[in-house]
Amino acid sequence: MSISLKDTKKKKNPNKKKIEKKEPIKPMKKKDAIEQPELTPDQVEALQEGEPNAMAQQQINPMIIPDFFNNIRNNYYVANKIIWIAGFIEWNLIIEAMRRLNFYDDGTKDPITLYVASPGGECDAGWALIDMMEKIKKHGVEIRTVCAGSCSSMAALILAAGSKGSRYAFPSSRIMIHQAGIELTGGKLDDIANTTKELQYWTDISAKYLAKITKKPVKDIEKELCYDNYMSASEAKKFGIIDKIDVFMA
């Protein structure tokens, strides 16, 4: 029996899957590549030494530097419960001081330090602060007041309102007390009379408050308030407005 060449060919298997030819991987084009920032020689050296923040240090915004130091200062003031009253006494300044006083009165009874450098100002605002100081002192909290440079008029009363034994003045400080006053630029007679009564009210409570603090008769204090009564730190200590002369640093 003869076998033909046709019979010698292998028959195809219909169940066999075709093997797909894979295309070769093409190299990435330059336009499709992600651009990487060029590093400076110092950054390259830092990366080689294993410093992880070399890339983060590539750009520093100089505008954040003042904020950084302000945050450090504010954190220091909060941690040590420090308040500054600097400048003319008015409601915006006093409200901020009262907010801080209220925040610092947190039940820990840690002392609060109030630095004062002011020519005086509005009586109603200043007395609102003193009322809060007196309330906090009744909670058993020591309020240290420090005259830094000058405390005049209403500011001198705030200085005197500190806790007994904790009222300081810098050696070169000047303290001044006087009657309540106002600059009149006009007005009717009745208006002037009403203003006079209001000034007398603030003068009277100031005299009584200083008399209570200094243990002096009210009449003697009233005489001391009849003029701009300037004192040195040692004179203010003798008068009873402060207790110690020192550059107190909280």
Instruction: Give, in order, the Cα–Cα distances in Å from 98 to each of 43, 47, 53, 92, 104.
Output: 50, 51, 43, 10, 10
Nearest residue to 126 via CA among 164, 167, 85 = 85
Q: Quote the CA–CA distance of 86 and 118 in Å, as a whole number.
A: 5
Q: Quote the CA–CA distance of 240 and 212 in Å, as a whole number.
A: 10
pLDDT tens sequence for the chain (250 residues) = 444 444 445 555 555 555 555 556 555 555 555 455 566 666 666 656 655 454 444 455 555 555 666 666 668 888 899 999 999 999 999 999 999 999 999 999 999 999 999 999 999 999 999 999 999 999 999 999 999 999 999 999 999 999 999 999 999 999 999 999 887 777 788 888 899 999 999 999 999 999 999 999 999 999 999 999 999 999 999 999 999 999 988 7
* Residue that the structure tokens 């080689």 belong to: 48
Q: Would the pTM of this model clear 0.85, i.e. be above it?
A: no
pLDDT for the residue numbered 42: 67
- Is residue 115 within 8 A of residue 84, CB to CB? The reply is yes
Provide the annotated active-site residues: 153, 178
In angstroms and rounded to an integer, the radius of gyration of the C-alpha atoms of the chain is 39
* Encoded tokens for 65: 């530097």
Domains, the chain, with CATH or none? 67-178+227-245 (3.90.226.10)
Specify whether the backbone of 202 is left (phi greater than 0), alpha (psi in -120 to 50) or beta.
Answer: alpha
